[in-house]
Amino acid sequence: MAKVTAQTVNDVVKEIELKKLKKESILVKHVSGLPMHEGIDCRVIFVDDSIIIMAEEGGSKQFRLAYNKIVDFQIPCEKDLRPVMVSSAGGAIAGARLFGTPGAMIGGRIQRYNFEKIEYSFIVTYKKDDDLADLHFRLISGKVRAVELVKKYKPLTACSASGEVPVVDL
């Protein structure tokens, strides 16, 4: 038997709005810049006049940053290339059965592989008082979606033209 839950009209409207907002959002992991712990999963939602940053767990923390305060969006890439040494016990046994000791030496030799790990960040630079500050996140969801949203909403920011640099009074 299916469980039926009663919903008010307001609950249904909120659910529909949340589904629409998730289409214009990216999933990130907080690194720095907000008063919350590092590593918390967040959703960055792009709306008409600002971005909204919501903690995914419980949604108890929510932050809003107006586009007119945002100076730049960045999606830098970090590559971690590590050499990994692997020896093959199975190859040594097979080589020994077929060709004796020389076969075991060749079959069990250490092979070198390169392990490449790519991580993308999402950084929002914004005007805070008369200074610049950053919100730093690691992208969880795809980079392509983040690039599409940045291109779409970049014209609404304080420095919408490419190459435009904000002036910060010191």
Taking only the tens place, the pLDDT of each residue in 9-28 is 766 666 666 666 667 889 99
Question: How far is it, in rounded angstroms, from Cα 118 to Cα 77?
Answer: 7
Please enumerate in sequence order all residues whose Cβ is within 8 A of that of 59, keeping only pairs 6 or more positions apart, or say none. none
Are the C-beta atoms of 32 and 121 separated by less than 8 Å?
no
| pLDDT > 90: percent of the chain | 18
| CA 50 distance to own-chain centroid | 19
DSSP β-bridge partners for residue 49:
none
Q: What digits encode the pLDDT tens for the residues 153-169?
A: 888 887 755 555 555 55
At residue 153, the 3 state secondary structure works out as: helix
Where are the domains positioned within the chain? 13-78+118-156, 80-116
pLDDT surpasses 60 at 3: no
Q: Which of 101, 136, 109, 107 is nearest to 121 (CA)?
A: 136
Domain 13-78+118-156 is of which CATH architecture?
Roll (2.30)
pLDDT at 17: 66
pLDDT at 61: 77
pTM of structure: 0.66
